[in-house]
Amino acid sequence: METLIIEPQSKKQLAAIKAVLRAMEINFWKTDESPYDPDFVAKIKRGDEALARGEGRTLTLAELDELWK
């Protein structure tokens, strides 16, 4: 079994997708739950915001290699 995440851009697209799935007898359900830990998501968002403010650093390949030693 695979999980597909579909993000229709309109209610019309959503209705069409649901109609196709029903016609093909494919089970589907709606969930608003995220599979990710909320603390982890908040941490990632804070990092993205910091990068947008220019608070970040680019590493060279040599510096990156040093991290793993």
CA distances from 29 to 1, 12, 41, 65 (A): 14, 18, 23, 45
pLDDT band with cut points at 50, 70 and 90 for residue 26: very high
- Per DSSP, helices labelled H in 1-69 are 11-23, 38-52, 61-67
Is 54:60 a contact under the CB 8 Å cutoff? no
The predicted-structure confidence for 31-59, as pLDDT tens digits, reads as follows: 777 888 999 999 999 999 999 999 988 88
Amino acid at 3: T
pTM, full prediction: 0.44
Q: How far apart are CA 26 and CA 34, in angstroms?
A: 22
Q: How far apart are CA 44 and CA 58, in angstroms?
A: 17
| Domain positions in the chain | 33-69
